[in-house]
Amino acid sequence: MSHFCRSADGWWPSRIVLLTAACMFFSGWAAANAETLELPLGRWTWRAKGNYAGWLDRRGLYQIVHPMETAKAGDYGRTETQVTIPADAKPPYTLRFYVNDTLYGEGHGPSAVIDVRVGHRFNQALVDGKVVWSEDMAKSKPISGPRYTLVDITPHVTPGRPFTLALQVWEEVDSSREMPGDAIQLGVYAGTTQKYTPLPREKYGTRTYWGDVAIHAGPPPRAEDLPCRWEPKLKVEKMQFPRVPPAVRERDSLAVEKAELLTGTWAWPVTQGIPLPMGALKDTRNIRLTGPDGKPAPAGFSEMSRWPDGSLRWVLLDFAMPAKTAGEYGLDWGSQVSAVADLPANPVRASDDLRMENGLVRVSWTSRDGVPQDLAIGGPDGQAAISGQRPYLNFKDKALTARWLTSAWLSRSPHRAEMQVTGELVADDGDRYGACRLRLEMFANSPLIRLQYTITNERAKPAPEDTPDKDTIKRTGGLVGGLRPLTAVVTSYGLRLLVPGIQTRET
């Protein structure tokens, strides 16, 4: 949930401004001119009452955090240290620090979500337990204002005498108490009419950042003139991958998990990525799979990527796991390992014209002038179990269907083959929704066919018919079509497969 602050025009979104200008420059006391005493926050002591927590983050900023929990008047989160101004330092003495919180910034436009409590929580500086500076966290502050706060502490300190300096967040009243000027407003979830579930009124969470604390002796500086004296530098290192000697004969295992789910009588297709360390292996012909019985198993190994030195990085394993298999498969690789040359009992055979079969099932696409037309899936006897495909998308009064344009083989091997057809979803009047694609995979020793159908919404701007009525949005909790074209008015979409002798209708 964002926090907000108030300006003359109302409440505006806050911004957590974590300026790198909140610098930590730990130079110590400058003895030559006795001007600045730096006070590194990493050496301070943390104290708290209630739910407050505090820590030094890796930027050198000290965070004082109150979680989204209840707070009582008198609760606080405080970090403090003992300070002694050198006896020869000349007045006046000016405390300098950077402070920022999650109720910071203005001028960024209105928002529906607001949670700001006026007079509840204060950022404060203390000397020997006395408040020398205090500011309501709900105070309106320009986001581009001075990066430092300066406080004259001359009346409260004596050179050469130690004192306790503290920075704290103070709870003035209970978080459950309603104060004049409080602004708590919850909007709706993005793109819907469903309102946010309100949090309990008594819970209030904030975060304050402190940094670059110092005491100036002599004429005080102007906050806007103080330069940032430490800039973070990005350290970019060239990635060094660990390298191993070339493998001679290595072995690993692949466990069969949830084998009880494989209740069919056919082999189950397995496709598994195999990572290899840099330098281990150059050629997929030096990898072998063995079954739970210890015998070599027919398998295909495809190169996916290589390391900078040319060795294999990722290899794709394809094999058919027989029904009711249990135990572990073995994976061997190295210069003294040779791949199994045996083919599966029912290898995949793929032709150039978008046809593939493995002796158990057959897939083919008809085409006209090189453009895919329709799909047929059936047994080896040529009888079709699937006689066509009908991708569809319906919205309002329009029905869109796929117009296929291109086809390609993504992979072809005796163990697995994958084809893809691509096109677009269009209506009879030419109205276009976006791209679509259909991928089909066939596996050795298995009658299973994997289909993956994908559609892509490419309507960058909503058309008039895309704008849904608010009653539909309210009833369904759907997204606003004007912000996310069509998603709110699509009534149905999918891939229909035609089975001979069976009639279907749209529901």
Same domain, 69 and 8: yes
Interval 256-283: pLDDT, tens: 888 888 888 889 999 999 999 999 999 9
Structural domain span for residue 298: 250-333
CATH number for the domain spanning 129: value is: 2.60.120
Tokens of 320: 């058919």
Rounded distance between C-alpha atoms, residue 501 and residue 358, angstroms: 26
CB proximity list for 224: less than 8 A, separation 6 or greater: 146
Q: Which residue, among 288, 306, 304, has the nearest Cα to 296 in the 3D structure?
A: 288
Give the end of a domain, one of 154, 188, 223.
223
Predicted local confidence at residue 325, as pLDDT = 83
236 part of a folded domain? no
339 part of a folded domain? no
- 371's enclosing H/E stretch is strand 371-378
The residue behind tokens 């056919």 is: 266
Predicted local confidence at residue 297, as pLDDT = 92
C-alpha dihedral, 150 to 156 to 160 to 162, nearest 10°: -90
Indicate whether 19 pLDDT > 80: no
Same domain, 363 and 324: no
243 part of a folded domain? no
Interval 477-489: pLDDT, tens: 544 444 444 454 6
pLDDT band at 398 (very low <50, low <70, confident <90, very high): confident
CATH number for the domain spanning 306: value is: 2.60.40
The proportion of the chain whose per-residue pLDDT surpasses 70, expressed as a percent, equals 78
The residue behind tokens 């108030």 is: 6
Give the end of a domain, one of 280, 309, 333.
333
Give the end of a domain, one of 278, 306, 333.
333
Predicted local confidence at residue 64, as pLDDT = 97
Question: Cβ of 248: how many Cβ atoms within 10 Å?
Answer: 12
Same domain, 188 and 316: no
407 part of a folded domain? yes
Rounded distance between C-alpha atoms, residue 54 and residue 47, angstroms: 8
CB proximity list for 388: less than 8 A, separation 6 or greater: 374, 375, 376, 497, 498
Same domain, 363 and 269: no
Same domain, 219 and 366: no
Ranges 31-45, 297-311, 459-473: which has the least confidence:
459-473
pLDDT band at 199 (very low <50, low <70, confident <90, very high): low
Same domain, 400 and 426: yes
Tokens of 385: 């179990």
Specify whether the CB–CB gap between 77 and 66 falls below 8 A: yes
Indicate whether 5 pLDDT > 50: no
CB proximity list for 338: less than 8 A, separation 6 or greater: 285, 286, 288
Same domain, 387 and 256: no
Same domain, 256 and 116: no
228 part of a folded domain? no
CB proximity list for 371: less than 8 A, separation 6 or greater: 404, 405, 406
Same domain, 36 and 120: yes
Number of domains comprising the chain: 3
Same domain, 216 and 255: no
Residue 466 φ then ψ, to 5°: -75, -20
Tokens of 70: 């209840």
Same domain, 428 and 479: yes
Strands of 84-160, DSSP E:
93-101, 114-116, 121-127, 130-136, 149-152
Interval 382-397: pLDDT, tens: 788 888 888 988 876 7
Q: Which residue, among 34, 183, 196, 189, has the nearest Cα to 114 in the 3D structure?
A: 183
231 part of a folded domain? no
Same domain, 395 and 315: no
DSSP 10-53: EEEE------TTS--------TTTT-EEE--GGG-EEEEESS-E
Tokens of 194: 């469903």
Tokens of 246: 């070339």
**Sign of CA pseudo-dihedral 158, 159, 160, 163:** positive
343 part of a folded domain? no
pLDDT band at 498 (very low <50, low <70, confident <90, very high): confident
CB proximity list for 116: less than 8 A, separation 6 or greater: 3, 4, 5, 6, 11, 103, 138, 182, 183, 184
Rounded distance between C-alpha atoms, residue 74 and residue 49, angstroms: 8
pLDDT band at 230 (very low <50, low <70, confident <90, very high): low
The residues with which 163 forms a beta bridge, in sequence order, are 83
pLDDT: is 353 or 15 the higher one? 353
Q: How far apart are the first and last CA of the chain?
A: 41
